[in-house]
Amino acid sequence: MLDSHDFETWSQFWISTTSHYAQAYLKQPQSVDEFVTAEKKRIANLVFDYVKPICINFLDIVVGKAESSYAEEVSQGVCINRLLGKRALHLLPSRSSQSISRLLQETFYLGVFTQIYFCTFPTRECYEKVNIPQLQQKWEIDAIAADYVMGYYGDPKNPMCMELWEYHFETRVRSALKSHVKVGFFGMGKYRAFFRNIYLAGALLVMDYDLSTKRSL
């Protein structure tokens, strides 16, 4: 799965994670089929293919392989190396570096597909209206503080969007981080906030894409 940017890979990852979350936390689990209909999946594939270059570039910035083309603050703000300090990701043992990179990728794409599958938008198919460079520039800068830009993400009466993130972090991310980096109580709080922001950045990308489809040609 590492370095994969395949639609089916991440669609299935979202379906699997959401199914496990529903079984573990919901009193009356909703079937994932309710959110992933054939029509929704068709549109999701279309959207994902269109924003995939932005996703690939962003994840390269997150793991320290690339710099933002738009603002130095992006490269500093969304890169995991700001938490790792002197031991940048590429300087860690190969197994640790790959594991952390995979966690970041999973977290980001979980956010992307949460917005795609949980939320609908009337003009989502109108990709021809989207100016990719404009979308990427605005979104990358907002991604520095996606949690602030998004505010409360989801429906307060049905908080599945953030509960899904909590489930992912507690069952997948926390223990893996502890096995690869030395992190105490306060340090884990910083990692938690960082991964939360990466998740919300993924959701924000699709939200900004959706809003861009409303523009007049």
Residue 108 resides in a domain: yes
Residue 2 resides in a domain: no
Q: Which residues constitute the domain of residue 172?
A: 7-212
Q: 121-130, 153-162, 168-177: which has the minimum mean pLDDT?
A: 153-162
Q: How many DSSP H helices and E strands does the chain contain?
A: 10, 0
pLDDT above 90: percentage of residues in the chain: 75
Residue 191 resides in a domain: yes
Residue 1 resides in a domain: no
Residue 102 resides in a domain: yes
**Domain total of the chain:** 1
One-letter identity of residue 96: S
Q: How far apart are CA 216 and CA 97, in angstroms?
A: 44
DSSP β-bridge partners for residue 158: 155
Residue 93 resides in a domain: yes
Residue 217 resides in a domain: no
The predicted pLDDT at position 216 comes to 54
The predicted pLDDT at position 3 comes to 56
Q: How far apart are CA 140 and CA 72, in angstroms?
A: 11
**How many Cβ atoms are within 10 Å of 179's Cβ, its own excluded?**
9
Q: What are the pLDDT digits (tens) for 181-198?
A: 888 777 899 999 999 999
Q: What are the pLDDT digits (tens) for 124-141?
A: 999 999 999 999 999 999
The predicted pLDDT at position 1 comes to 43
The predicted pLDDT at position 49 comes to 94
Q: What are the pLDDT digits (tens) for 28-59?
A: 766 777 789 999 999 999 999 999 999 999 99
Residue 158, helix vs strand vs coil: strand
Residue 97 resides in a domain: yes
Q: What are the pLDDT digits (tens) for 76-120?
A: 999 999 999 778 999 999 999 999 999 999 999 999 999 999 999
